[in-house]
Structure 1
Amino acid sequence: MQLRCRRMTGDALADLGDDNGAPPSTPWLPSAAVLRRHGARVLEPGDGVSAPTVYRAGVLLSTAPASEPPDTLERCNQTLAGSGMRLAESHAVPSGPGGHGAAAHGPDGPARERAVRRRVRAVQLVAAHGADPESVDAWAALKALRAGGHGAHLSLDHLLFGASIGGVPMTEGSPMTEGSPMTEGSPMTEGSPMTEGSPMTEGSAWRFAGGAGRRPVDLVLPPPRRRTAAELGDRRPVVAILDTGISPHEWLDVPTPAGSALPADGFTTVDTELQAMILAAQDQLIAAGHSLQRLRDAWERQISTGSVAGELGTHTGHGTFIGGLVRQVAPDATVLQIRVMHSDGVVYESDLLIALDRLADEVEAAQAGTGGRMVDVVCLSLGYYLESAADGSYTIRLQEHVDRLLAAGVVVVAAAGNHATSREFYPAALPCDGELPVMSVGAFQPNDAKAMFSNDGPWVRYWAPGSALISTFPKVQGSRGAAFTTPAGNAGGRPTRRETLDDDDYTRGFASWSGSSFAAGLGAAEVAALLLENAAADPQLRLDQVDAKSTAQRALRALDGFPG
């Protein structure tokens, strides 16, 4: 196997340019339409905040145990008196479909009790009687509660974003929609062609020149051959992709229509119980009156944006594209698709925590021989900028959840981000105290130069191709259409219509796309391929040995296999 992912460290300032001691550049921010859609706000630097972050205005996350004293809520609301806000009853994140305990194949006994105590709860923040609902602001409430000594167990519910370049070359946003969640807008909405989001201003041209956006392509190659279970003679490595879900595609062994049963031992699988847990948590907030976008199921589907009918979201196809990268590099693996990302690239931190917690529970149970499911690699092509990286209390559980997976020997791969900054992008920049690090991945160009758009810094530990990659894509057609076309006709039995490339026609099922999202996906695929290769060469590294020690040994050997 030809490895294209490389270990690399370097001086971020030397790579990105000397900034004369100034702080790292401030990343792009989401459009107003994206914020409205998800009930979110932007926290700008200042007042103890070192980096801009995005959070849900009406939700706080709590790690207080379910058995907390009944007067805790009352004391918090006394502290908030006069702010125009109050905390409503908190809701435990369900630990199984419908919230009825641990999943059927999850941990039992003491392990289940620990899992229940560990659950993060979403706490609804609402307007006090007679107050303006627009005054509800989770950050203002969190500051007041912490000042009053009651907020140690509370944190913001951050919005994370998919780390791909948007759907239009030279910009991060689509020209017909609100723009990519990590930009200030597109030429047809908040930013005009001569303002924030255009290639004529703050830097999109120099960062993305060369057609870095999403484009349809045609591919005449057959899918890479996948060995049967009998031929393989070992357990298949499992790559969990926490992303936009899955779309029907023959390369991924996913039948049409969406929602059809997946074949046994097919390339792609889903965790219906985990998906139900995520949906149940969203339903609880919706029932409490909170405005949010609900995911329907594990299948990739559009969200309502209020844009022109048929317009594709900026991150439509994101998960399907990454799944195709794994199929190309490690066709004998199994991809576990978990939908946490909306088609505009937004991920709620609370949903991500549910998924990570469940995966850790499953792996720990499998290693203990009490059921569960083994996962070898977790791919997180998403991230956010933490408001205060120096203060761990600002992020509530992400570090703990990732550490649990790493301690179990699961390789966690995370995208470095696309904003040409050395500012830490999380979870890629999470510190590592154990033997196994987070595999943070920056993007190379096809010629192995670092992509101009890729974030960089000492925290970016690995690099892989992430520009102009080709992979699977949902067979959909948006409403943009070709720029130029001639009238349809017929001459001698052949159509006479001619047109330029329709950048919204993906009915062939393949696309070219760029971003550290896909560098991370490629890195995850190469880890899976190395796990198989090493297992074939060394019986002590066989994947059917699922104890924690063997899992960690395999993971370390795989990471050591990447050239420096």
Structure 2
Amino acid sequence: MEMQSVGEAYIRPGQILTDRTSLAAASRWTQAVSEADGVCVVHLTPGADPCEVTAELRDQGLRASPNHVLRGQPLFFGGPASRPFPAEPIGLRRSRSRSDVVVGLLDTGVAKHPWWSGSDWYARLSPEAADAAEGSQAGHGTFIAGLLTRLAPGAALSVHRVLDGDGLGDEASIVRTLNRLREHPPHVLNLSFGGHTFDDRPPPLLSDAIVGLTNTVTVACAGNTASDRPFWPAALPFVVGVAAVDATERHRAPYSGYGTWVDACARGDWLTSSYLDTGEYGGYAAWSGTSFATALVAGAIAEAAAREPAKEWIRRVLDSGKTREIADLGVLFPASL
């Protein structure tokens, strides 16, 4: 995927996102426009800077953003979060009954695996939602699906591939997918990806798309940045942003993002889950990252949602003052795998 770096944020060169109300104001920089699912991608004329155009449109009170590139979050330069490691097969607790809870999983897709062989949700999976076969993050979605299945075995997954095999996806594609989810919104939404924005402000179209899922609890990773710089969409006030703690569940994992914008944390180090059946891997792996801490929190919410509305449950857990908190990491969700 073609992209450029702007102060640790990544954007698609020559592109901005707007809605229809902004098209007229953007016309003097516009070479072409592609529109789908409520998002307009404006392809700028040569020489026009996406960040400068965005700033000018926002000064007019319009909704605009560079087309940021968001990334899945096991990647970190060194440390345990860098790659998956082969693991021995582990068992799966089967649910005695199915719930009506649906967990949305936007990621690299989900591959075939014994844990969901014969399940209704996997039988409905389209070929486009299969996990990427190649790339540095192939298997990322399959790994997360396993964690969700272990925590909420009665829930169904609604899988949408928005990241490629290297864990990269642009904001336009993600927002379009989120907008389509309004037709059949999940109870819980797992977003184990994100990124910085060029100006550290929330991306407006991504924010709008998540807000549009009125009754959905959206859970997103705080990023493997080892930084308190806001990481989006986790830093949005209506998203449960999740950091990672180490295996002791007492300290921040050294790669994890942190800050006052983080709401919750869970173990991120050396988790074992489903993976691709390829090469040295026999369908299982051990992996580390805030992506996977996020799945533990999303899975806990999904399991609770079988008994009461997900939004009510998570609001009570985060605001009760009775649950253990870690400074700059939020409420701790103990691992129960």
Q: How would you bin the TM-score normalised by the shorter chain?
A: 0.7 to 0.9
Q: Could you say what secondary structure the match of 1:455 adopts? A: coil
1:464 matched to which residue of 2? 266
Report the Cα offset of residue 65 of structure 1. Answer: 3.9
Per-residue CA deviations over 1:332-352 (Å, capped at 9, x if unaligned) read 111111100111111110011
AA at the equivalent of 1:238? V
CA distance in 1, matches of 2:311, 2:94: 28
Q: Could you say what secondary structure the match of 2:305 adopts? A: helix
CA distance in 1, matches of 2:119, 2:190: 23
CA distance in 2, matches of 1:525, 1:297: 24
CA distance in 1, matches of 2:102, 2:74: 23
Q: Could you say what secondary structure the match of 1:459 adopts? A: coil
Map 1:478-489 to 2 at 5 A.
none
Are the aligned partners of 1:252 and 1:268 in contact in 2 as well (CA < 8 Å)? no
Say yes or no: does 1:213 pair with 2:21: no
TM-score, length basis structure 1: 0.53
Per-residue CA deviations over 1:250-278 (Å, capped at 9, x if unaligned) read 1122xxxxxxxxx56346754x5xxxxxx
Are the aligned partners of 2:223 and 2:290 in contact in 1 as well (CA < 8 Å)? yes
Q: Could you say what secondary structure the match of 1:524 adopts? A: helix
Per-residue CA deviations over 1:178-233 (Å, capped at 9, x if unaligned) read xxxxxxxxxxxxxxxxxxxxxxxxxx4xxx2x6863111122x333213344xxxx
Report the Cα offset of residue 142 of structure 1. Answer: 4.1
Q: Could you say what secondary structure the match of 2:234 adopts? A: coil
Q: Could you say what secondary structure the match of 2:160 adopts? A: strand
1:110 matched to which residue of 2? none
Are the aligned partners of 1:330 and 1:525 in contact in 2 as well (CA < 8 Å)? yes
CA distance in 2, matches of 1:452, 1:126: 42
The partner residue of 2:4 within 38, 41, 55 is: 41
AA at the equivalent of 1:425? F
2:72 matched to which residue of 1? 162
CA 430–268 in structure 1, closer or farther in 2 if over 3 Å, else same: farther
CA distance in 2, matches of 1:431, 1:552: 14
Are the aligned partners of 1:383 and 1:417 in contact in 2 as well (CA < 8 Å)? yes
Q: Could you say what secondary structure the match of 1:427 adopts? A: coil
AA at the equivalent of 1:139? C
CA 250–136 in structure 1, closer or farther in 2 if over 3 Å, else same: farther
5+ unaligned residues in a row in structure 1: which ranges? 1-37, 45-51, 81-86, 96-118, 128-134, 167-171, 173-203, 230-234, 254-262, 273-295, 303-311, 363-372, 433-437, 478-504, 536-540, 542-549
AA at the equivalent of 1:515? G
CA distance in 1, matches of 2:210, 2:161: 18
TM-score, length basis structure 2: 0.85
The partner residue of 2:95 within 200, 223, 226 is: 226
| Equivalenced residues, count | 322
1:76 matched to which residue of 2? 27
2:275 matched to which residue of 1? 473
The partner residue of 1:330 within 152, 161, 166 is: 152
Report the Cα offset of residue 40 of structure 1. Answer: 1.3
CA 59–409 in structure 1, closer or farther in 2 if over 3 Å, else same: same
Say yes or no: does 1:520 pair with 2:331: no
Map 1:179-190 to 2 at 5 A.
none
CA 318–243 in structure 1, closer or farther in 2 if over 3 Å, else same: same
Q: Could you say what secondary structure the match of 1:527 adopts? A: helix
AA at the equivalent of 1:521? A
5+ unaligned residues in a row in structure 2: which ranges? 325-337
AA at the equivalent of 2:85? R
Q: Which has the higher strand share?
A: 2
Map 1:21-420 to 2 at 5 A.
38-44=1-7, 52-65=8-21, 72=24, 76-77=27-28, 80=29, 87-93=30-36, 95=37, 119-127=38-46, 135=47, 137-142=49-54, 146=57, 152-165=62-75, 172=77, 204=78, 208=79, 213-219=83-89, 221-229=90-98, 235-253=99-117, 263=118, 265-266=120-121, 269-270=124-125, 297-302=128-133, 312-359=134-181, 361-362=182-183, 373-390=184-201, 395-405=203-213, 408-420=214-226
Q: Could you say what secondary structure the match of 1:387 adopts? A: coil
Report the Cα offset of residue 450 of structure 1. Answer: 1.6
